[in-house]
């Protein structure tokens, strides 16, 4: 499940090697960060100041609104946070387009966040907890089957960020799809009906008149099924406690890794201080269509 790319492997990688690995459900890790990171002084400010100034779970840059959420606008480091997150987002986007010319050719960058708090023992509500294994779903508006691609950098200078996974979507759906009740919600097309299309155009209209984050509230039949699976995983102790298929990953300081998080189940068991980039990849740009959750669910319907 973990594919490591050092400089030599990266230099000799075939054009679709990294993208295909992601689509198969691998985590792709770079042994040295392939982009320029914020300066050590900037990172030190984020690490030391943000935990005290946090208003939400994370501090995030939203490109649709071109602003940072999770931090008081009057914060003395608001400008620095904006600069660091928006620059990091641009650098990662360019890097992904270079590394994955097919998969990332029409990438749609979303939020870029800083995770300032220790993941272990945060006592968040189950659906918001990163400590429980889950696939990502439903927090990005309606994806309609497009893929959720995330890039992580552990910017803690001394401690690993530790992840667990229980495997990838195709096997998880086979094993748990019935128990999660997903078959009740499957339709042959998984497409929006008339009401769904109306809601989408309404939310897009709201974005055009000054509410740029309104489309984040959108949904679709596919996204609701994925959200149901996400919630089942987090709400089911037997699922969490069965460690037969568990793999644990240790990401050392300044390790960088990318993953399709709608595909690979994951939990952040411990670690503090990470940069997290999120983007959507159009489903049509995937080369391994049969492995995409949307097509697996449609075939099951």
Q: Which residues are near Fe ion by CB under 5 A?
A: 136
Backbone torsions φ then ψ of 121, nearest 5 degrees: 75, 30
Q: Which residues of 74-91 are buried (b: 16+ CB within 10 A; e: fewer)?
A: ebebbebbeebbbbbbeb
Backbone torsions φ then ψ of 228, nearest 5 degrees: -65, -40
Q: How far is the CB of 278 from Fe ion (least distance, A)?
A: 10
Q: For Fe ion, which is the closer residue by CB, 71 or 263? A: 263
Q: For Fe ion, which is the closer residue by CB, 9 or 57? A: 57
Return the half-sphere exposure (C-beta side, CA atoms, 13 A cut-off) of residue 184. Answer: 7
Runs of H (alpha helix) within the chain: 7-12, 17-24, 40-53, 78-99, 169-176, 194-208, 221-235, 237-241, 293-300
Q: How far is the CB of 276 from Fe ion (least distance, A)?
A: 9
Paired residues of 279 in beta bridges: 109, 149
Q: How far is the CB of 90 from Fe ion (least distance, A)?
A: 23
Q: For Fe ion, which is the closer residue by CB, 61 or 163? A: 163
The residues near 289 (Cβ < 8 Å, ≥ 6 apart) are 283, 295
Q: How far is the CB of 136 from Fe ion (least distance, A)?
A: 4
Q: Say how many Å lie between the first and final Cα of the chain, rounded.
A: 28
Q: For Fe ion, which is the closer residue by CB, 66 or 171? A: 171
Q: How far is the CB of 202 from Fe ion (least distance, A)?
A: 28
Q: Are 119 and 131 in contact (CB under 8 A)?
A: yes
Q: How far is the CB of 249 from Fe ion (least distance, A)?
A: 14
Q: For Fe ion, which is the closer residue by CB, 130 or 200? A: 130
Q: For Fe ion, which is the closer residue by CB, 117 or 202? A: 117
């Amino acid at each position: 499940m973990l594919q490591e790319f050092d400089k030599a492997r990266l230099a000799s990688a075939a054009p679709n090697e990294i993208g295909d690995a992601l689509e198969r459900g691998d985590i792709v890790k770079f042994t040295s960060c392939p982009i320029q990171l914020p300066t050590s002084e900037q990172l030190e400010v984020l690490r030391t100041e943000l935990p005290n100034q946090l208003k939400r779970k994370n501090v995030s840059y939203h490109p649709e609104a071109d602003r940072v959420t999770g931090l008081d606008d009057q914060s003395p480091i608001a400008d620095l946070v904006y600069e660091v997150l928006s620059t990091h987002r641009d650098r990662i986007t360019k890097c992904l387009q270079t590394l994955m010319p097919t998969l990332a050719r029409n990438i749609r960058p979303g939020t870029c966040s800083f995770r300032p708090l220790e993941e272990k023992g945060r006592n968040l509500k189950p659906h918001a907890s990163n400590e429980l294994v889950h696939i990502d779903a439903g927090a990005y508006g309606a994806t309609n089957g497009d893929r959720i691609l995330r890039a992580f950098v552990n910017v803690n200078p001394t401690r690993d960020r530790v992840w667990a996974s229980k495997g990838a979507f195709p096997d998880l759906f086979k094993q748990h799809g019935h128990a999660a009740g997903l078959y009740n919600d499957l339709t042959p097309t998984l497409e929006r009906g008339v009401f769904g299309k109306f809601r989408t155009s309404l939310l897009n209209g709201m974005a055009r008149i000054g509410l740029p984050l309104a489309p984040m509230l959108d949904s679709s039949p596919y996204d609701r099924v994925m959200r149901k699976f996400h919630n089942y995983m987090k709400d089911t102790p037997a699922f969490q406690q069965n460690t037969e298929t568990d793999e644990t990953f240790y990401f050392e300081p300044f390790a960088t890794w990318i993953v399709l998080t709608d595909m690979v189940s994951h939990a952040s068991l411990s670690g503090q201080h990470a940069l997290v980039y999120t983007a959507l990849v159009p489903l049509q740009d995937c080369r391994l269509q049969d492995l995409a959750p949307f097509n697996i669910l449609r075939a099951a319907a």
